[in-house]
Chain A
Amino acid sequence: MKHLNPVSPMLLCLALLFGALAPAQAQLRIDITSASIDPLPVAVTDLHGETQTTRELGREIAEVVRGNLSRTSIFRLINPAAYLEGPEDVLVRPNFTNWRPLDAQALATGNVRIESDGQLRTEFRLWDVFGGSQLTGLVFRTTPENARRIGHIISDAIYKRLTGEEGYFDTRVVYIAESGPPDRRVKRLAIMDQDSANHRDLTDGRNLVLTPRFSPTQQVVTYMSYVGNQPRVYLYDIDTGQQEILGDFPGMTYAPRFSPDGEKVVISMARNGNSDIYVMDLRTRVTARLTRHLAIDTSPSYAPDGDRMTFNSDRSGTQQIYTMDADGSNVQRISFGEGRYATPVWSPRGDLIAFTKLLNRRFFIGVIRPDGTGERILTESYLDEGPTWSPNGRVLMFFRQVPGDDNGRGGSVRLWSVDLTGQNLREVSTPLDASDPAWSPLTPLEE
């Protein structure tokens, strides 16, 4: 955690002086202890361009930003049709008196141009409309093909400047794309940007794939696949398309997930009818057993500091959530509510664990503190399952199946997202049916 810098002795003296005098002079003191929960009104103009090509790129970037911000519950995007100034008017500095009547608290503007080497140069500025000052600014140089990504990076910059927290827009989601009838379901590993753009399949569907999980440090995915009817855990390099088997174990391996440093993978392994949790060092390929219990221990997920992990087990008689130290010691049960709990996932912020809950034939997505307090249900439906956190821990994505026929078969399954507040529930668009999403970390930037 980053702390503020210490102050000079002179500042301290001034502070003491002010501190002693200020309260005595105040004639009216009021405590403001609550706030409006309305989203923050923001305006995003198209980025200015001198040519038809750059104008179109500027519009494309702005539309990505507007789409990202409007899908959050934090911001309210002011309709561009109401803007009194266009991209060229705000090129140097907006006339803030034209934006205050719209109640825009922040205004994003910018400029794009193609340089002599073909590179796209993009400038972006965020303005405090009521304060009449610039809040932040960025300059990018990249190929025009990266226009959408620039939009995501600008969205993250706006999010961070206005909330103080990292954004989650320059990210991708891997998931299972499903097609075909229920008895011959084809499941492919697929990937897309978090806003559903740039969708592509990573596997061809010949082998069943399940439970993809993103590496927190590389563009690598681990997942389970049935190849030759043998369930195994694989690693897939998204950039190169190379995949490799994680190891040849005597039993069935499943439910893989990376450690926060990306150097280990924790998995479930079924041997002799019993399922326990193991961890593999990706460099040495040495495996260590973490749980030893006759019950089914599965779905392990590390805390962000890597010191602890959560998993689910039926060792108490019903499926519940547990935590333990990363070496398998100090096991503690943390869920005690009604129903069964599964798929626990530790938040990147470390303060919560998301889970799937089954009670009275209904499924729920919820969160609970790592000490077992504060259980909160966010969604409920016929079948909600498999939560994954946005990298800033503010949004959860999961999959929801709707019932088909009377036996509950054949219903469509889609991805959904919900804010940590339980608000802003929305479907995530995919070309086909989709399940088991896994959110990537923020994509690294080249400085």
Chain B
Amino acid sequence: MTVCSPGQADRRAATSLALLAGVIMLAGCSTLGLQGANEASLPHEQALKAHVTGHWTPDLYSGDPAGIIVTARLEMNPDGTVADEPVLSIANNGGQTDAIVQAYVDSVRQAITRSQPFPLSADDHADWRIIELRFNLKEDSGK
């Protein structure tokens, strides 16, 4: 049996991994910048957290997901949809394989897409025009 990947898919995957490599370094910076960031505490923030959590379905048993942190910076429309492509930064603190990180990042993208529109009031749009979601599974989450 002969097996091959279509060349286009290979090139796309290579590009994707190169981008991953790029944002890894970026993550080191933005993670520092997040030190001291407040955990969601207001009711609408808690509702958004629960909403996104319910749409996030990473594979909890692939490698060590607790070592991967994906931060998504979202520019939001007043109707709760994301205005532009999310800007993602990825930290691979556990030395996970490219394939595991890629699958994890895909799960974050899908969670953001499936969560729209976000359950937020348009009246307060000025308060959430820019949202930063930090996806980092705790070790015991869901297991």
Binding site for B on A (CB under 8 A): 1-8, 11-12, 14-16, 18-20, 22-40, 74, 103, 105, 128, 130-131, 134-142, 146, 149-150, 153, 160-165, 394, 420-421, 445-447
Contact = CB atoms under 8 A, between A and B. Distances in A.
Given A4-B98, A20-B29, A27 B129 contact: yes
B61 A4 contact: no
Given A7-B21, A134-B9, A31 B33 contact: no
**Which 4 A-B residue pairs are closest in the complex by CB-CB distance?**
A19-B29, A164-B100, A15-B26, A23-B33
Contacts of B73: 22, 25-26
A142 to B, nearest CB: 4
A103 B110 CA distance: 11
Nearest to A5: B21
- Determine which residue in A36, A128, A134 has the highest number of CB atoms from chain B within 10 A of its CB, and name it: A36
A34 B138 contact: yes
Given A7-B22, A29-B38, 15 more contacts: A3-B95, A7-B24, A8-B22, A22-B30, A22-B73, A30-B52, A30-B131, A32-B136, A33-B136, A35-B57, A130-B113, A137-B6, A142-B2, A165-B59, A446-B1
The secondary structure that dominates the A interface is: mixed
Interface residues of B, number: 80
Contact of B106 (A31, A128, A446): A128
Nearest to B39: A31
Nearest to A161: B103
B28 A19 contact: yes
A40 B103 CA distance: 12
Contacts of A139: 3-6
Contacts, number: 224
A15 B9 contact: no
Contacts of B49: 30-32
Interface string B12-39: 1100011011111110111011100111
Contacts of B95: 1, 3
A35 B136 CA distance: 9
A310 to B, nearest CB: 22
B45 A35 contact: no
B130 interface: yes
A205 B113 CA distance: 58
A446 B58 CA distance: 31
B5 to A, nearest CB: 6
Given A19-B28, A22-B33, A36-B53, A27 B128 contact: yes
B40 A31 contact: yes
A160 to B, nearest CB: 6
Contacts of B92: 4
